[in-house]
Amino acid sequence: MIPNLDNLPVYDTAGVNERIARFCSRSIKSNSKLEGLRLALSMVDLTTLEGKDTTGKVQQICYKAMHPHDTLKNIPTVAAVCVYPAQVANAVKALKDSGIQVASVATAFPSGQSSLEVKLLDTKFAVDQGANEIDMVISRGQFLAGNYQYVFDEIVAVKKVCGQAHLKVILETGELDTLDNVRKASELAIYAGADFIKTSTGKIQPAATMQVTYVMLDAIKDYYIKTGKMIGMKPAGGISTSKIALQYLVMLNEVLGEKWMNKNYFRFGASSLVNDILMQLVKAETGIYQSSNYFSKD
Amino acid sequence: MFKASWAYDEAPESTNHIQLKNKYDLYIDGKFTKPVKGQYFDTIDPSTNEKIASVAEATSEDIDKAVEAAKKAFVGWSKLSGKERGKYIFRIARLIQERAREFAVIESLDGGKPIRESRDLDIPLAANHFFYYAGWADKLTYAFPNRSPKPIGVVGQIIPWNFPLLMAAWKLAPALATGNTIVLKPAETTPLTALKLAEIIQESGLPKGVVNIVTGAGETGAAIVNHPNIDKIAFTGSTNVGKYIQKAIAGTHKKLTLELGGKGANIIFDDAAIDQAVEGIINAIFFNQGHVCCAGSRLFVQESVAKLVIDKLKNRMETLIVGNPLDKNTDIGAINSKKQLQTIENYIKIGLNEGGEIYQADCKLPIKGNWCAPTLFLNVSQSHRIVQEEIFGPVLAIQTFRTIDEVIEKANNTPYGLSAGVWTQNGAKIFHLTQKLKAGVVWANTFNKFDATSPFGGTKESGFGREGGLHGLKPYVKFD
C-alpha cells in the first residue's frame, strides 16, 4: 500500500550542505584510502547507455569489467555492467560466469514517457534476455503533478515483472527540484518494492549530488529502523574521480555504516571513475602517477 | 545499529613548518622584554600534558611599563589619520592570512581544539575581523554621523582560552581602528598565538607601544583592571570574574564591556528538519569541546519528537571522532586544561547525584592528556544544577516541552542571556521566538555562526557591549 507522504521528514538545504561539507573534509590517507578505492571499484556499475552502442562496444566494456587492470594484483572486478535492453544478451554472453551482474535500464528510459504496457514489455524483454538487475525510471511528470498513486502502482507492476531480477528505481532527482520531493519519491520507491534506489539516469543535469544521495540514505535508514529491511543505494552520473567516490563512501560509512559498505547495498553508476581509481591504485603501488594512456579506455 | 566500519587512518597536520621559541617574553613598547621579576610559567599541550614553552609572568611592575608605553603611544596613534591606521590593520590581517597554517597548528597545539576548527574557523575569522575593522578606520564619521567620535585612550583587554587568537582579534581590531592603544592579556593556558601575533604586529611596523601583549594569570589581569592609567576594560571570560571587575572599577572613570558566560537554550520543534536539527545540536554543544560561551548547552525538544531526536542524536554521536587535535579527521579535541577537566568531571558527578540519566558516546579516549567523551544528560529539569550552571564542556542537558509559551519561559529562566537556537520550518514561529527569547544572539535553523560584520554580545549576566559589526566600534569611542 502507498505510504503516508504527509508526515515525512523535511530537509533544510543549508543544513544538508553543511553536513556534506563535513564529509568532504575528512582526510582519507594511506591504507584507509586503498581500502576505500578497492571498495569503490567493486561497487561500480560500469555503464554504457548510448544510442550508438553496438555488440562490439558492449563486448569491450564487458572485458574491461572483468579485467580492469591486469597488471595490478588484488583488485576486484566491478559489480555490474549496465546497458540498454537490446544489449543485454550480448553482455550476458560476454560476461559468462564471471559473477558480474548484468543490469539493464528499462521502462522507456530515460524519460519514462510511455504507457505502462510498453514499460512492462520493455522490462520483460530485458529480464528474458538475462538481465539480473533492472534500472527503471519513475514517471516524474506524474510525480510532479501529484499523482503519487500512479507512480507507486507503476513501480509495483514493474517489480512483479522483474521476478528474480533486482529492481533499482531511478528517481531522476535532477528533475524533482527539492530535497523534500527526493525524500517523497524515495519513500514511494522503497514501499513499492525497490531493492535499490538510484539518483539519476545520467541524461539530465544535475545528475547525482551528495545532497540528494544524503536524503536518500536517510530514507533508507528510517526504513531500516522501522522494518529491519535493508535497501540499497546507487548514485549515478557525475561521479568521475576517486576523490568524489571516496567522499560518497565517507558519507555512506557515517550515515548507514558497515552493513551497507559492500556492493550488495551500494553501487556507483559510472564509467570514467574506474580508470581514475586504477590510476590512484597504481600510484599507491609505484609512487608515480602514470599517463592515462596506460589505462585501457573501453 | 549503523556502526561505521571504515576506520580512517591518521591524517595529522604536519608541525615541521611552525616556529616556536622555548621561551617567550612580554611584548612591551614594540620589543620583547624580560619580565621585571624574571618569573616564567609553562604553557602545555593539553592533549599530552607536555610542556610546549615557557612564558613570562607579568607582574604589576610590568603592567606599569606596558601602560606607560601605551599612554605614550596614544599621543601619536590617536592623531594619525584613519586611512593610515587602516593600512597597519590591513597589513596585520594579511600577515595572519599568510601564516594561517602556522597559526592553526599552534592554536590546536596550545589549546587542544581540532585542527579542522582552528584551520577553518578560528584563524580565517580572526583575519576577517582585522580586515573588517581596517575598513572602518577612515570611515568613523560615517559610523557615527555628526557626533565626532574620539578614541578613549589606553584600553586593557583580557581574553579567554577558548578562542585565543580570535578573541584577540575581536578585541584588538576595533580598538586599533578607532585610535586607542592597548594592553592585552591572553589566558594563561593559551598564550602562544597571541605572542605569535605580537611577532606579526612587530613585523607590520605598527608604531611601538600601540599594542602591548602581556602574559600571566589572574593577578596579571587584576593589575590591568586596577591600573589607574587605563581608561577602559574589555573582558571576555567567566561571569564570576566579570562581577569582580565590575566591582573593582566601580567609582573610577573606566569604561567597561563584558562578554561573560552563558547557558544557551537550543529549541527543537516538531516541525523542524529533524536530521539537520540533530546536526545543529551536535554543533551547538560539541563545537570546541563545548568550551564556548554561547554553546547550546540546554536542549529543549518538543515532546512529540523527543524520542526520535534523542535516538538520532545518540546515533550521530557514535560517529564523532575524539582524539589528537592535530588530526584532520578529529571532530572533538582535548579539554583545554586539567583544571577545566576537573570542573567538567565534577559537574558530571553532580548530574549523576542529582539523578540525571547519563549517555556517553562509545569512543576510545587517548590515555595521556585531558579528555571527556561527548555526554548527554536526560531526565533533568530546570531545578537541576547541571541545567542551571555553565559547565563549559561537552555536556548537554536535555529537557522536553509541550507548548511554545512553556519553552519560552524555560529558555528565559536563567541568569544568563547570551545565545539561543530555534529549529522549525515555520517562519512565523521563528519571528515569534526571536522576539521573546532574552539572548544577545538567536540563531534560526543553525547554531554557532559568527561573522565579523555581525554584532555579538550578551544580556543579563552574560554581559554588555557588543563586539563585531558597526556596534563593535561603539565601546571604543567617546563623544564630545
Which strands, in side-by-side order, build the sheet including A268-270?
Answer: A232-234, A196-198, A166-170, A133-137, A101-106, A80-83, A44-47, A268-270
Residue B265 reports pLDDT greater than 90: yes
What are the residue boundaries of the structural domains of chain B, listed by start? 23-260+459-478, 265-444
Q: Which residues of chain A have pLDDT under 50?
A: none
pLDDT of residue B271: 97
Q: Inter-chain contact A32–B274, Cβ cutoff 8 Å? A: no
pLDDT of residue B266: 98
pLDDT of residue B364: 87
The residue from A135, A218, A276, A298 that is catalytic is A135
- Residue B306 binned pLDDT confidence (cut-offs 50, 70, 90): very high
CATH annotation of B23-260+459-478:
3.40.605.10
Of A27, A221, A253, the CB nearest to B6: A253
Side-chain-side CA neighbours of A99 within 13 Å: the count stands at 9
Chain B residue at shortest CA distance from A226 = B308
The mean predicted confidence, pLDDT, of chain B is 97
Count of A-B CB contacts under 8 Å: 83
**What value of ipTM does the predicted structure carry?**
0.92
Mean pLDDT, residues B140-163: 97
Q: Inter-chain contact B2–A221, Cβ cutoff 8 Å? A: yes
Say how far apart CA B180 and CA B150 lie, in whole Å: 9
Residue B480 reports pLDDT greater than 90: no
What are the residue boundaries of the structural domains of chain A, listed by start? 13-294
pLDDT of residue B2: 86
Side-chain-side CA neighbours of B37 within 13 Å: the count stands at 14
First to last CA, chain A: 44
Say how far apart CA B265 and CA B382 lie, in whole Å: 12
pLDDT of residue B38: 97
Cβ proximity of A245 and A273 under 8 Å = yes
CATH 3.40.309.10 corresponds to the domain B265-444: yes
The residue among B226, B294, B284, B232 whose CA lies nearest residue B259 is B294
B120 interaction partners in chain A (CB closer than 8 Å): 25
Q: In terms of pLDDT, which residue wins out, B362 or B125?
A: B125
Cβ proximity of B185 and B209 under 8 Å = no
Distance (Å) from the alpha carbon of B3 to chain A's nearest alpha carbon:
5
Residue-wise pLDDT tens digits, B15-73: 999 999 999 999 999 999 999 999 999 999 999 999 999 999 999 999 999 999 999 99
B294 catalytic residue (yes or no): no
- In A166-296, which residue ranges form alpha helices assigned H by DSSP? 179-192, 210-227, 242-255, 273-286
Chain A residue at shortest CA distance from B328 = A27
Chain B residue at shortest CA distance from A249 = B6
Share of chain B above pLDDT 70, in %: 100
- Residue B4 binned pLDDT confidence (cut-offs 50, 70, 90): confident
A234 catalytic residue (yes or no): yes
Architecture (CATH level 2) of domain A13-294 = Alpha-Beta Barrel (3.20)
- Residue B185 binned pLDDT confidence (cut-offs 50, 70, 90): very high
pLDDT of residue B1: 78
pLDDT of residue B429: 97
Interhelix angle B274-286/A13-24, nearest 10 degrees: 60
Q: Inter-chain contact B5–A258, Cβ cutoff 8 Å? A: yes
Say how far apart CA A149 and CA A153 lie, in whole Å: 6
pLDDT of residue B5: 85
Chain A residue at shortest CA distance from B308 = A222
- In chain A, which residue ranges form alpha helices assigned H by DSSP? 13-24, 30-42, 55-66, 88-95, 116-128, 140-144, 148-162, 179-192, 210-227, 242-255, 273-286
Torsion on CA atoms A186, A187, A193, A197, rounded to nearest 10: 20
The residue from A119, A168, A184, A198 that is catalytic is A198
- Residue B316 binned pLDDT confidence (cut-offs 50, 70, 90): very high
For A12-31, b where at least 16 C-beta lie within 10 A, e where not — what string? Answer: beebbebbbebbeebbbeee
Residue B382 reports pLDDT greater than 90: yes
The residue among A169, A168, A111 whose CA lies nearest residue A139 is A111
- Residue B3 binned pLDDT confidence (cut-offs 50, 70, 90): confident
Question: How many of the other CB atoms lie within 10 Å of CB of B61?
Answer: 12
Distance (Å) from the alpha carbon of B316 to chain A's nearest alpha carbon:
8
B6 interaction partners in chain A (CB closer than 8 Å): 32, 35-36, 39, 249-250, 253, 258, 261
Residue-wise pLDDT tens digits, B402-442: 999 999 999 999 999 999 999 999 999 999 999 999 999 99
Side-chain-side CA neighbours of B365 within 13 Å: the count stands at 17
Mean pLDDT, residues B123-127: 98
